[in-house]
Amino acid sequence: MIRYLLACLLLVAIAAPAGSETVVAGLSQNRISITANFDGSEILIFGAVKRFEPIPEGAEPLQIVITVAGPSVPVTVRRKERVAGIWVNTQSVDVDRAPVFYVVATSDPFYDVMSNVEDLRHKVSITRAIRSVGAPADIENSTDFTAALIRVRSREGVYKLQEGTVNISEETLFNTSVALPANLHEGDYTTRIFLTRDGVVLDQLERVIYVQKVGLERWLFNLSTEQPFYYGILSLIIAAAAGWGASAVFRYLKS
């Protein structure tokens, strides 16, 4: 199936009209449903470079950079310090925009395929994708808070830099895969594909993956946000029933 799709993209590239090198791409799926037994998913991203003129002799090889970003939400990062033998929050910095999930996949080491100037312009690297508002004047080294957020989320596996994982064939076809975790947040996941040469972005393309809870998960989520009182009552009933059931089983085994 994937070979068939890549072949179709190659035909599109061959039949493309005159113009600079541009990129066409697709996703193995653009909609993910989160159910009770959802344990993660894998997205295959594939595409082709369309061109009219042959590659100039002596030109640097084409490179591909792909990002998959979940919804961005504000985050407050706090610093804990030991005061009188107790760990307490002492300082905090507001991060204005931090994606709940962010993966960067490249065909070669990151700064070999994208210059620092282009990274700054397109906000591709993990550090550029996160934006922090002005920190309070009394906080020194406020960038440490953003670095701590990246470190924590990298350890959790939701921020990843996957260098050298994009496969390019004959400077025309490319593909890679991105694993989405089981604890996926609901929302739109934006996929960006950058075509670069010598660190300069020649073209870019965006696709969206829609992630949504369905079934019982959707009903419980709506109940918790739209009718929190009834959600609390239901939670108490379920907890009481579970406690009674465990007690009954224990008495039965003991008798």
DSSP result, 116-176: HHHHHHHT-SHHHH-EEPPPPTT-S-THHHHHHHHHHHHHHTSEEEETT--EEETTTEEEE
Which tens digit of pLDDT belongs to each residue from 222-252? 556 666 765 677 667 777 767 776 666 666 6
Tell me phi and psi for residue 179, to 5 degrees: -85, 130
Closest Cα to residue 48, out of 169, 190, 209? 169
Please give the structure tokens belonging to residue 168: 């390019």
- The beta strands (E) that lie in 57-115 are given as 62-69, 72-83, 86-99, 102-106
CA angle, 224 as apex, 219 and 229 as ends, to 5°? 120
C-alpha to C-alpha distance for 105 and 167, rounded to whole angstroms: 10
Which tens digit of pLDDT belongs to each residue from 123-146? 999 988 887 555 554 455 667 778
Domain boundaries, the chain: 2-214, 215-255
pLDDT for residue 173 is more than 90: yes
Q: What value does the mean pLDDT of the chain take?
A: 79
pLDDT at 147: 85
CATH topology for 2-214 is Immunoglobulin-like (2.60.40)
More confident residue, 53 or 48: 48
Question: If pLDDT is split at 50, 70 and 90, which confidence band does 106 have?
Answer: very high
pLDDT for residue 152 is more than 80: yes
